[in-house]
Amino acid sequence: MYEFDWSSIPGALPFLWRGMCISLEITLTAIGVGILWGTLLALMRLSKLRVLGWFAAGYVNLFRSVPLVMVLLWFFLIVPQLLEKLLGLPPGSDARLSSAIVGFALFESAYYSEIIRAGIQSVPKGQASAAYALGMTYGQAMQLVILPQAFRNMVPLLLTQAIILFQDTSLVYVSALADFFGAAYKVGDRDGRLVELLLFAGAVYFVICYSASLLVKRFQKGTSA
């Protein structure tokens, strides 16, 4: 019978907390970039200019058809060298966090752009006509009339996607980055208490994600009422 020993957790809390901060940093940056870049991709996809539409469709299909963990590895292998060249960083400087963030942001943009595209299409066409009829340009119509309504309709989906994204950040362990999951793994490995640490990490993910999804549900009820 396996004997649980939780004693290595209290001392490791500061380290785990730093890991949580990294997980949150990746999540929040990827959400921010994902929404901005995803919106641009969605607008390209809906654009009358075929070339833009093709580019966006290609981008979205590419990122939705490869496993996230592979994208992360590519970026882990490519981005550090790129950053070294572009920013003149000394070789071997630690760009694991930046490459993880870039990988996530570009990957998530593909998913966000599909949510946002559906959101834009959920706004009745007459709204755009009314905006144009008042003399608004395409940019003004989007910014003032279409996107505010689209985003209002999308909030629950965007939040749900954010929760999935937060869970997916654990995949950065492939680049040996000490995000929350990576930190827990490291501590468990060091102390020979992998089972306890992974149970603990799982419980933390569960509490955070489950409460967040309850909040989303509540929000959904609030807006549909």
Query: Which residue of 79, 102, 115, 145 would you call a contact of another protein, by CB under 8 A?
Result: 145
Query: Which residue of 133, 195, 207, 215 would you call a contact of another protein, by CB under 8 A?
Result: 133
- Quote the least distance from Cβ 155 to another protein, whole Å: 13
Query: Which residue of 13, 144, 203, 207 would you call a contact of another protein, by CB under 8 A?
Result: 144
Q: Report the SS3 class of residue 152.
A: helix
- Quote the least distance from Cβ 56 to another protein, whole Å: 24
Is 130 near another protein (CB under 8 A)? yes
Contact partners, residue 53, CB within 8 Å, separation at least 6: 44, 45, 46, 47
The torsion angles phi and psi of 157, rounded to 5 degrees, stand at -65, -40
Asked whether the CA dihedral 132, 134, 136, 142 is positive or negative, the reply is negative
Is 121 near another protein (CB under 8 A)? no
User: How many chain residues touch another protein (CB under 8 A)?
Assistant: 18
Is 152 near another protein (CB under 8 A)? yes
Question: Which residues between 175 and 194 bind another protein (CB under 8 A)?
Answer: none
30-36, Cβ contacts within 8 angstroms, sequence gap of 24 or more: 30/101, 30/104, 30/105, 30/107, 30/108, 30/165, 30/169, 31/108, 31/158, 31/162, 31/165, 33/105, 33/106, 33/108, 33/109, 34/105, 34/108, 34/109, 34/111, 34/112, 34/165, 35/112, 35/116, 35/158
How far, in Å, CA of 29 to CA of 35, rounded?
10
Query: Which residue of 58, 124, 192, 202 would you call a contact of another protein, by CB under 8 A?
Result: 124
Query: Which residue of 47, 149, 167, 220 would you call a contact of another protein, by CB under 8 A?
Result: 149
How far, in Å, CA of 76 to CA of 60, rounded?
21
How far, in Å, CA of 12 to CA of 14, rounded?
6
User: Smaller CB distance to another protein: residue 64 or 152?
Assistant: 152
- Quote the least distance from Cβ 148 to another protein, whole Å: 5
Contact 107, 63 (CB under 8 A): yes
User: Smaller CB distance to another protein: residue 62 or 133?
Assistant: 133
Is 219 near another protein (CB under 8 A)? no
User: Smaller CB distance to another protein: residue 55 or 132?
Assistant: 132
Query: Which residue of 88, 91, 92, 126 would you call a contact of another protein, by CB under 8 A?
Result: 126
- Quote the least distance from Cβ 91 to another protein, whole Å: 50
In the complex, the residues that contact another protein under the rule CB under 8 A are 124, 126-127, 129-137, 140, 144-145, 148-149, 152
